[in-house]
Structure 1
Amino acid sequence: MNLKSLISLMRPKQWIKNSFVFAALIFSGSFIKIDLLLITLKTFILFCLISSTVYIINDLVDIEKDRLHPQKKYRPLASGEISKMTAILLAIILLVSVIWLSYDNLSLLSILMGYLVLNIFYSFKLKNVVIIDVMSITLGFVLRVEAGSVSTKIPISPWLLLCTILLSLFLALNKRKSEIITLKNGSSSHRKILEEYSIELIDNMLTIVTPSILIAYCLYTFNSVQRQSMMFTIPFVLYGIFRYQYLMITKNLGGKPEDVFTKDIPFLINILLWIISVLTIIYFKL
């Protein structure tokens, strides 16, 4: 066991998902307010700690199945680099830290604990219930957005919440599709829920979810304060959807969304241009 293995067990690559806590701050035009920015950064860190707790619990539950997986077998627990007792101890330390650091905001603490409970249910039961499994993942993203809103007391646009729901469904469905492709005929032996899914079923679901993302984002821009300017950000969202689908179909990268968001240069450039455009429009009131 070493520090690198412990850090790997916490899955820091997955922390990019917790950036959803910044949604309320950014889209309200309050990103330049240092006090609110620091509060949101603290919320981001808390979600990183609680999500790492969840990943450890999930790895403990799936340790035997992960040892049969072509990629997951290299994880610290599955490979034997870290013992179960060490993993349990780390999870306890992280959980205690989250409670201690968020005790001054009971609303935020309740969301963090709700996220933990949701994912414990997911690890033991919900991940084996068709459709509910991907909807549970979606709820986790909604809780991230709500945490950012609650911690700063900034209300979030219902259209942005809808975009969050649809985008997370899009990512979750593509993840299931990627798992089926990666594991091929032995998919059900690695993850029971994959027996309930097929490429055709997931593609049918995506035909509903994918255009809905674009429609929801368009409705958000139409209802925003700077609606005429915000409409110019729609092409970035459209390109992002198309690029993700391209990477899913040609390179099967949908199983690890964090790799798409951090390693695919065209996708990353598009995200950065979208962020710059949104910040410019909101903060310079164009």
Structure 2
Amino acid sequence: MAERTTGVGTGVTTGVTTAVAVLDPPAPARRAPTRRPTALARGLVRTARPRQWVKNVLVVAAPVAAGQLGSWHSAARLGLVFVLFTAAASAVYLVNDARDAEADRAHPVKRHRPVAAGIVPVPLAYATGAALGLGAALASALLCNAMTALLLTAYLAMQLAYCVRLKHVLVVDLTVVTTGFLMRAMIGGIALGIPLSRWFLITTGFGALFMVAAKRYSEAVRMEDARGATRALLTQYTTGYLRFVWQLAAGVAVLGYCLWALESGGVSAGSLLPWRQLSVVAFVLAVLRYAVFADRGTAGEPEDVVLRDRPLAVIGLVWAAMYGMALADL
């Protein structure tokens, strides 16, 4: 009797299942999403980091510091250098994201990058990066002087070595990123044949180290519970060490700038105020303001900190005005 009941139940169940299957047939297998050319193009542009291009404005740092940015020829040459350096930096970003695609998928933010998200294929990222890098190096050799081409090629080689190996080497990673900023600041002066002063190199180099170490410190603070899954090297740094580095770098940058400002005497002929010396106040205030974000662990990308904090932007404008007045008195 039990067996008959089971058989009836099975038959009814089978009949109902068949009826449901007929009324609601299984959905067809999903096809792999096709990549549209516009989506690929947008993904490549995003991977090239347009927001990071503002860093390349540093190519005008040396000519501005020397007060030699007053001709169309100089402006055109610097514009060319800006474009070439932007292409080189974009090439590095593309190669870096292609190499780190798997690791980036484990990162809460980086997993949205086009290569990690599957919008841009890894081979295409490599190919585009290689084309941009080789194009920038070749164009610099043909259109600029030999030292400019050499510096740009050295930047590409160093940054690619960073992507492959150096970013996993303790302390060297900080040095390479800092040197990248310093090269940006140097290349404009080299392209125009402007001698680079020792104070310019000291202030720019240690100022860059200050921002790089502050960013690493902020990453270590924010990702303290998940550092191994985001940036493995952070597990080898302590927050105390990174704090020491950015504090040391900030102090040396301020000292270098003060020595430059005080190198000459008081008020120069035809000037109402000692703008060169007064600019120290704005420079120190800017460093102190930036250090607030570093101390809180919220100093991410330098351009984000500068552009989003209104008081810091105002201090920067005041410093630029004072520095401009100091150059006008030279």
- The offset of 1:163, in angstroms, is 0.8
1:29 pairs, out of 62, 67, 71, with 67
Q: Across the two proteins, how many residue pairs are aligned to each other?
A: 284
**Structure 1 runs of 4+ off > 3 angstroms?**
224-228
State the Cα deviation string for residues 233-269 of structure 1 (Å, max 9, x = none): 111111111111212334x432221211222211122
Aligned to 2:116: 78
Task: Structure 2 unaligned segments of length 5 or more: list them.
Answer: 1-38, 269-273
Aligned to 1:245: 291
Question: What TM-score does the superposition give when structure 1 sets the normalisation length?
Answer: 0.93
Decide which moves more: 225-234 or 153-162.
225-234
| Aligned pairs for 1:161-200 within 5 A | 161-200=201-240
2:303 pairs, out of 253, 258, 261, with 258
Q: Give aligned-pair identity as a percent.
A: 27
- The alignment yields a C-alpha RMSD, in angstroms, of 1.8
Task: Structure 1 unaligned segments of length 5 or more: list them.
Answer: none
1:42 pairs, out of 80, 83, 108, with 80
- Partner of 1:212: helix, strand, or coil? helix
- Partner of 2:116: helix, strand, or coil? helix
- Partner of 1:78: helix, strand, or coil? coil
| Aligned pairs for 1:1-286 within 5 A | 1-104=39-142, 105-223=145-263, 228-250=274-296, 252-283=297-328, 285=329
Q: Which amino acid aligns with 1:49?
A: A
Q: Which amino acid aligns with 1:55?
A: Y
Task: Quote the Cα distance in structure 2 between the aligned partners of 1:271 and 1:258.
Answer: 12
- Partner of 1:77: helix, strand, or coil? coil
Question: What TM-score does the superposition give when structure 2 sets the normalisation length?
Answer: 0.81
Q: Which has the higher contact order (CA 8 A, sep 6+)?
A: 1
Q: Which amino acid aligns with 1:257?
A: P
More helix by share: 1
- The offset of 1:71, in angstroms, is 1.3
Task: Quote the Cα distance in structure 1 between the aligned partners of 2:264 and 2:83.
Answer: 29
State the Cα deviation string for residues 72-108 of structure 1 (Å, max 9, x = none): 1111111112111221222123123313421232221
State the Cα deviation string for residues 190-229 of structure 1 (Å, max 9, x = none): 2221111111111122332221111111011123697842
User: Residues 229 and 281 of structure 1 are in contact (CA less than 8 Å); yes or no, is this contact kept in structure 2?
Assistant: yes
User: Residues 253 and 259 of structure 1 are in contact (CA less than 8 Å); yes or no, is this contact kept in structure 2?
Assistant: no
User: Residues 126 and 133 of structure 1 are in contact (CA less than 8 Å); yes or no, is this contact kept in structure 2?
Assistant: yes
Shift of the 208–249 alpha-carbon distance from structure 1 to 2, 3 Å rule, reads closer
